[in-house]
Every structure is written in C-alpha cells, then in structure tokens.
C-alpha cells in the first residue's frame, strides 16, 4: 500500500502494518533535548497543507484542511480542498466520511490487530513523541536555535521497502512532516494555526470519535 490518496493518515497506516517493534527510548542527548522541548497537550487542533509529488507528474497533488489530535481518542483529519472528506482514526478503526455523507470503515482492529497502534503512532508523528517513533525508526536530531529537525530512517528491511525516510521539523510543536517513499515520491505536510485551547473536545468532536 503506497500512499494511494491525499489522505495523510493512510501513509501512517502503511508504516503501522509493515512493522510493529518494541519502544526504544532515546539515548542521544540531542534527541532527548527535542523530546523535552515538544509540548504534550491532551488536545491539539490546527490546519494543514499537504503536497505530494508523484513520479511522472509535473505538478504536486495538493490538499488542505484541519485536524484534531486527542491523546485519549485519536485523530480527526478533515480535508476541505480539493474535495471535502473526513478520516477519523481511533485505536479500534479508521473511518472515512465522504462529501455525500456516506461513511466507510477502512480498517477494523478486530481484523488488523496492528491497528491498535494507530492512535499512538499518529499522535507521535504530529506531536514529536520520540520514544514512540523510535519503535519504528532510527531517530537523529539536530537543534536549530529554538527549533529542531528529526530525521527518521526505517529499522526493518520490510519497512524500508515502503519508505526511505521521514523528517519532522518544529519547535514547541511539529510544524512540518516530509515523507520520502522508496520510489522517491514525496509527501510534505505543513501545520499551522496550532492551538491547545480548548483543552477538551467539543460535543461534535467527541461524537465523531464514538
């Protein structure tokens, strides 16, 4: 499964289904410094712009929208352009909702046990949780003033068949994620308007996780 659509959560799903390994905590001082610098909110909201450069296509595929990451619940990924859609990721399933209002369960944890790691890994990539990311990748860190960059390379040969590398850039929050696939296709996601307030889910957000 190689990033079949503009929905970024499916890219993360590929990682999860390819290899699940034990968590290895960071020992590198630079990595530990990044770990200490990144916020760990219970709820984080923001906007995203995603561009995917596909081999053979001159112009990148572009989408934009907003997201909610709730530590105890999962991720709501709402694409507004070019076509409205929702992807809701929880510990038990990935649910997509199209612009006509129809819904579809993309994957269920009862059928794919690895799905139970989706919540943790999705949150890890968007919040810079180095310990969780280390379960899948070798992590190298570089400090840049008040900011930082993390370069992630796959640990397992199976994972390397799908991804060459992932990189995260940020400060208190992750501001950018770039995914380089083994075939050299690239996906870049820029996050903006990040906010920890309100600190709890609203009624509509909570309902979407049910």
Is 3 a domain residue? no
User: 21 by DSSP, 3-state: which?
Assistant: coil
140 is written with which tokens?
């190298």
Closest CA to 39 of 189, 204, 174, 139: 174
Q: In this structure, what are the phi and psi dihedrals at residue 173, rounded to the nearest 5 degrees?
A: -125, 165
Helical ranges in the chain per DSSP H: 8-18, 29-37, 118-127, 130-133, 157-160, 203-208
Q: What is the pLDDT along the chain (210 residues), one digit of tens a residue?
A: 233 334 444 444 443 333 233 333 446 788 888 878 888 888 999 999 999 998 888 899 999 999 998 888 888 889 999 988 888 877 777 788 776 777 776 666 666 655 555 555 655 666 667 777 777 788 888 888 889 998 888 887 877 887 888 888 989 888 988 888 888 889 898 999 999 999 999 999 998 887
Is 139 a domain residue? yes
User: 96 by DSSP, 3-state: which?
Assistant: strand
Is 181 a domain residue? yes
Q: In this structure, what are the phi and psi dihedrals at residue 128, rounded to the nearest 5 degrees?
A: 75, 35
User: 206 by DSSP, 3-state: which?
Assistant: helix
The residue range of the domain holding 54 is 8-208
Domain count, the chain: 1
CATH number of the domain encompassing residue 200? 2.50.20.10
Is 2 a domain residue? no
Is 37 a domain residue? yes
Is 1 a domain residue? no
């Amino acid at each position: 499964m190689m990033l079949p659509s503009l929905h970024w959560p499916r890219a993360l799903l590929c990682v999860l289904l390819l290899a699940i390994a034990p968590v290895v905590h960071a020992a590198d001082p630079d990595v530990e410094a990044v770990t200490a610098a990144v916020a760990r909110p219970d709820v984080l909201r923001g906007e995203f712009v995603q561009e995917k450069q596909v081999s053979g296509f001159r112009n990148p595929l572009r989408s934009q929208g907003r997201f909610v990451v709730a530590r105890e619940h999962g991720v709501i990924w709402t694409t507004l352009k070019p076509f409205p859609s929702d992807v809701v990721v929880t510990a038990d399933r990935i649910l997509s909702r199209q612009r006509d209002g129809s819904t579809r369960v993309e994957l269920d944890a009862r059928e794919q046990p690895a799905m139970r790691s989706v919540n943790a890994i999705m949150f890890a990539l968007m919040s810079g949780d180095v310990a969780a990311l280390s379960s899948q990748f070798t992590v190298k860190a570089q400090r840049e003033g008040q900011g930082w960059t993390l370069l992630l390379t796959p640990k397992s040969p199976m994972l390397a068949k799908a991804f060459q590398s992932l990189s995260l850039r940020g400060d208190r929050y992750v501001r950018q994620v770039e995914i380089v696939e083994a075939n050299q296709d690239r996906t870049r996601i820029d996050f903006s308007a990040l906010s920890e307030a309100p600190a709890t889910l609203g009624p509509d957000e909570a309902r979407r996780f049910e």
